[in-house]
């Protein structure tokens, strides 16, 4: 089923992101996790695409198994980093052979050690070009990334949303956002996007904080800020893994319920390949709001 049809129902859609484990790990554990997440009846599971070469092949393999064996809709992420149009075409053809028809089209981050993104000769500078390319060659549904607090390379949120509109005008039919911890950023972002004529579903991405030591990494990678009150609470309990997890889960439930109440088309959970915590959160949500 196409992503655009998944979001065209009158229900709010729950979906999950997983990432391919390093090549030294077998995939069994991940598939156990996905099978457990399946009990929550997600609209789809998306599979990230590695920044470097290491896990890239695994994205197709995992997305394929999700749709063909677990019988769940899958979305494959794809980036333009260190690759050419011809290589991207090969991956897209492979996805097609594996019945995958939903793509999250991304530019990707500069490779480790580089500060600026530079395209390969015969590659793409921006995600909108990948969207155009997929739209022209495949009859698929395409999602793109949105940034409620702006993208780290562009301090001007308004301009960044203009570029988001370019991705939608190029053929994207769903926006999935970067994680954030303060819903007001999402609501402001959604209002600006609507005013600019972006009419596709804008799906908030949610990351539960489960580890105090990961906070700095989360902030530096995502550009998201943590509300003072939440940070102080986490800081106070930083020596207890259990307390941090409890606070993170409670906060994610509160955040997600507020978003549901404010008529989001769905919630996309960054699961970090963990099912137990994700199940606890999703089971505590006030689902069932009809959107139409």
Asked if 108 is part of the footprint of ligand FAD (rule: CB under 6 A), the reply reads yes
Between the alpha carbon of residue 100 and those of residues 55, 73, 78, 92, 139, the distances in Å are 18, 8, 12, 9, 11
Residue 69 annotated among the catalytic residues of the structure = no
Q: Which of 17, 29, 159, 250 is catalytic?
A: 17
| d(C-alpha 248, C-alpha 251), whole Å | 5
Question: Given the rule CB under 6 A, which of 99-107, 187-195, 228-236, 249-257 is the region that contacts ligand FAD?
Answer: 99-107
Residue from 11, 36, 57, 109 in contact with ligand FAD (CB under 6 A):
109
Between the alpha carbon of residue 154 and those of residues 66, 146, 158, 223, 227, the distances in Å are 35, 12, 10, 11, 22
Q: Which of 183, 191, 148 is nearest to 255 (CA)?
A: 183
Paired residues of 177 in beta bridges: 146
Residues 232-251 that bind ligand FAD (CB under 6 A): none
Asked if 252 is part of the footprint of ligand FAD (rule: CB under 6 A), the reply reads no
Site string for ligand FAD, 136-155 (x = CB under 6 A): ---------x-----x-xx-
Asked if 58 is part of the footprint of ligand FAD (rule: CB under 6 A), the reply reads no
Cβ at position 54, least distance to ligand FAD in Å: 12
Cβ at position 129, least distance to ligand FAD in Å: 8
Per CB under 6 A, residues contacting ligand FAD are 48-49, 51, 77, 79, 104, 106-109, 126-128, 145, 151, 153-154, 160, 163, 166-167, 176, 178, 205
Active-site positions read 17
């Amino acid at each position: 089923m196409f992503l655009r049809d998944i979001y065209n129902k009158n229900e709010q859609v729950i979906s999950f992101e997983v990432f391919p484990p390093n090549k030294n790990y077998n995939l069994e554990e991940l598939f156990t996790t996905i099978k457990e997440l399946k009990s929550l009846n997600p609209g789809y599971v998306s599979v990230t695409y590695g920044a470097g070469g290491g896990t890239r092949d695994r994205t197709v393999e995992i997305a394929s198994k999700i749709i063909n064996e677990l019988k769940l809709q899958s979305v494959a992420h794809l980036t333009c980093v260190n690759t050419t149009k011809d290589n991207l075409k090969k991956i897209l053809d492979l996805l097609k052979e594996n019945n995958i028809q939903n793509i999250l089209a991304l530019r990707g981050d500069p490779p480790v050690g580089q500060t600026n993104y530079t395209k390969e000769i015969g590659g793409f500078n921006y995600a909108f070009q990948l969207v155009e390319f997929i739209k022209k060659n495949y009859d698929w549904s395409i999602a793109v990334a949105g940034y409620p607090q702006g993208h780290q390379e562009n301090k001007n949120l308004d301009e960044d949303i203009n570029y988001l509109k370019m991705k939608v005008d190029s053929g994207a039919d769903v926006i999935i956002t970067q994680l954030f911890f303060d819903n007001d950023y999402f609501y402001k972002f959604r209002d600006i996007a609507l005013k600019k004529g972006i009419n596709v579903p804008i799906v908030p991405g949610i990351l539960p904080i489960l580890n105090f030591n990961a906070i700095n990494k989360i902030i530096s990678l995502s550009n998201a800020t943590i509300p003072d009150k939440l940070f102080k609470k986490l800081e106070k309990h930083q020596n207890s893994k259990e307390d941090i997890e409890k606070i993170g889960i409670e906060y994610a439930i509160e955040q997600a319920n507020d978003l549901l109440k404010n008529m989001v088309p769905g919630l996309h959970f960054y699961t970090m390949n963990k099912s137990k915590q994700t199940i606890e959160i999703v089971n505590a949500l006030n689902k069932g709001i009809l959107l139409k």
